[in-house]
Amino acid sequence: MKIFDGLYPFEMVLLVLGVLFFLVLLVAFALLVVRGKPFGKLFAFFVIPVAMVGFPGIKSIEFSNSVVKIEKATHELQANPTDKKLRESLDKELANVSARPLSNPQDSVTVARAQVALGNNAAAEENLKKALAVNPQLPEALELKKRIDLDTKLAELTSQAEQKPENAAVKSKLTNTVNEIVTFKTANPLTISNIARAQAVLGDQVKAQENVAKVLRINPKLAPIQLMNKPGISMVPPK
């Protein structure tokens, strides 16, 4: 249920008990009115269920709002991968949501997509497993899984091509993988770094340099050291 999204078990229990307590008080109130007995003192007790329902209710609303913010910020970061403020904002919002239980598979995918954008594919895969365990055919989860698998494939093929640059079959597969992965908007610095490596080994120094520059703006520590002495590739962070 949507109301339980992002709630800890004790908050769910508190919410359910609060609703039940409120219903009991309503029944008691109705009986006192029907019997013509005083009911004024009963109103004070209504504060308890309101608080019991209100606390988890607020947490649920905050969680839902954070998920919406994460989804919006992820799309914005994918369009502007070098925006450090946007990256930091997404990371902070993600930390708040990740600390809470993810029972809704759609929420798990939203969080996983943000984690991929920030370069944390391992954490994203864990959340995708949760989503697919609940709904194995969830389109968004399957699409993101394909995207992560492409990241892995790209890294493997790039390493193979760097080790055996004369292998035409590997280069052909690498070319196809690069062409496929660049159709996705990505803010993942590790992916961008691997794309740069792949483009360099395939002889496209111009695009490789463009992607190296992006990585250097995002996080210089993630720059592809394999291209350190590559002709036409500068590892100096752009100003």
Across all residues in the chain, what is the average pLDDT?
A: 88
From residue 75, alpha-carbon distances to 19, 97, 152, 157, 214 in Å are 38, 17, 22, 28, 17
Q: Tell me which of 163 and 221 has the higher pLDDT.
A: 163
Residue 186 has pLDDT above 70, yes or no: yes
Q: Tell me which of 191 and 223 has the higher pLDDT.
A: 191
Residue 228 has pLDDT above 60, yes or no: no
Distance, in Å, from the CA atom of 22 to the CA atom of 75, rounded to the nearest integer, reads: 42
For residue 178, what is the DSSP state? H
Over residues 30-41, the mean pLDDT reads 84
Residue 237 has pLDDT above 70, yes or no: no
79-124 pLDDT, tens digit per residue, is 999 999 999 999 999 998 988 888 899 999 999 999 999 999 999 9
Over residues 52-59, the mean pLDDT reads 88
Per-residue pLDDT at 44: 87
Nearest Cα to 215, choosing from 229, 202, 228? 228
One-letter-per-residue 3-state SS of 1-57: CHHHCCCCHHHHHHHHHHHHHHHHHHHHHHHHHHCCCCCHHHHHHHHHHHHHHHHHH
191-205 pLDDT, tens digit per residue, is 998 999 899 889 888
112-169 pLDDT, tens digit per residue, is 999 999 999 999 999 999 999 999 999 999 999 999 999 999 999 998 998 888 899 9
The pLDDT confidence band at residue 221, using thresholds 50, 70 and 90, is: confident
Distance, in Å, from the CA atom of 72 to the CA atom of 104, rounded to the nearest integer, reads: 18
Per-residue pLDDT at 101: 86
